[in-house]
Structures are given as structure tokens and as C-alpha cells.
Structure 1
């Protein structure tokens, strides 16, 4: 039996406000409620991707993302989200193109590496330059070369709606994140 739903401490009508500085947002300020919401959201299994590009300084930039979805086939649009606090945000937002690399089941170490802070995420990684200044990760199940269509700050994240300009894929089992860990750990 599903427990009673908690009332939301803010209006839910559609609006153009990002809500990032909304003081009425009770969940955002209540750590217990945030952890409970995060645990509930974690019940939705997601694939894992690494978004890569080349920064203005010519150095590669990349970050692990699991907020990723297909939006449209005509035109081919994808959506991904990145925390406003991410150090990679300025470079990824400014890059003319980026690659979304869908990780395979055996690439859990890559997921962790591109989620880590304060390291050279590309050191020792098997990757190659892709079109338009992107970086393609070897062994990824799919790579999508994309350009920004819409970039919008929403809450504590930035939502990127991007257009696919090229892609490649190969068969295999995906890396799946569920319930705070990796599903099908025997794939790893």
C-alpha cells in the first residue's frame, strides 16, 4: 500500500521561473526530506553517460551524467542535466559541440572517474578525438555528437536540450544505476 502523499510546499502550476531561489521550497531546505526524496527517485533505474567536450583552453572536459533522455526523433533531440555547482558546467555550456557517451556494463570505473573531483579525469583513459572538438570514449555503447538547442537553469541544475548531429552505436549491456548503486553488478 502506498503511503499518503505529502503536500508540496509550493505552487505547481506551469511557469517560467526556475525556482532556484524559492524560499518556500520546503524539501530543498529539509535534509531528511531531501534524502527521502532522493531515495524515492533512486527507484527509477537509469543508464549512465559521460558527457565530453574540449574546453576553450584546448583541454578535454568530461563529467558523469545519469539525467539523460530522448526527447524527439524529428528533429533528433536529447535532454541531459548538470548541477549548477559542477566545475565542468562553464566549459560544457560554452563548447560548440559535445559528445554523450553511453557507458557499457563493464565501465563502472569510468563512471566513478568522471564523477570524481580534483583529478585528471582523462589520464590513462582510452579515448579519441571526435568531430567538432568532442571526445569519444572507447567501449561506449553509443556516442551522440550534439550541439545546444536550449540551455536553461531549472532549480539547482541546468537542463540541456541538444540536437544530435552524428551518432554511432554497438550492441551490449548498459551500465545501470538503481537505488544508490549499480544494478546487475555481475556485468561489471
Structure 2
């Protein structure tokens, strides 16, 4: 079902991902090492630099064949690892960039996941994200998000529509954080952020 929604995601977020990920660079002229958490069907492969080392941490083995196919189609050097964002199977400073798109809403411990992303980055490395977030405090949408949080989570694999992911990223200890706020036409999960947090 998620794979069938990839075209819609490309239409909604493709231009932002293309702009964000174009900034990923390697060390000493080498291709970059990109760690992606929760890559799903591998739809971000098309936005990465061909030849990049793509370390994918994806706990759902049913996505792995999709990820392998995307890596081959887009010329990426795939290293597929089973793990979680709260305990990344990645060495300290191994990554030039860590990528998270529409993942943090459903991880068990967002603070721990952000700490792990920061740990995996080299000094100056960047955490790049596109995530839906809670509506502004006091808004009618925020009240609806709170009201529907539990049934939404049952339907959407643990997703929390009222999570303050933006605030958690800002408080995660990165040296610099740039965030763009935007609305997608997605009802309950319309408020979004995209940005870069530098270690």
C-alpha cells in the first residue's frame, strides 16, 4: 500500500527533497555517506547523488526488496542494515548526512532517535528532514489532532499527528538548525517542516 503512494509523495515533497539533498557532500572529494532512517520503499534514492554510499536502516524487512531495486536504479552503493532509529547500527561520525522523511512521527523515542542521528554524523555533518508536525498550540486543528491521535495511530502505524517534532529537533543539541514551515494539503497532518540541522 505504501509503495502505491510513492508517486503522491514525489509530487508533494520532491522539489524540497531535491533542494535539501543537493547540499549533501562527501569528505575529501569522495562520494558522500548518507544514512537514511526508515527508508520505507526507498523513494528517496532518486534524490541522492549517484555513487553515494547509502546506508539504510529499515526495520521492516518487507521493504528491503524495494530498497534494493531503488538503489540499483539510481546508482547508489547500498548498505542495508536492520535496526531502529533509537539504536542506529552506525559508527560514531560515519555519516556525512542523516536523512529522515516522514519517520519521526512514528518512532518510539524521538529524543533518542535525534541523539543517535547526531552521534552518527561527522563534525559538520547534517541531519536533513521533512516531517509533518503538530498544528499551532490553541488552534482548532491541534485540538482535532489530539482528539484523533489514538485512532489515527492505529490506522497509520503508530503515527502521532500532534507531535512537536520541530521543537524536539531544535532542542536536540545541533550547532545550527534551519527550518522551513509549510502546509501540505493533507488534512489532519497538513503542517510540515523541512530543514537541516548541523552537528
Whether TM-score is above 0.5 comes out as no
The higher relative CO (CA closer than 8 Å, separation ≥ 6) is in: 1
Structure with the larger strand share: 1
TM-score, normalised to structure 2, is 0.24
Structure with the larger helix share: 2
Query: Is the radius of gyration larger for structure 1 or structure 2?
Result: 1
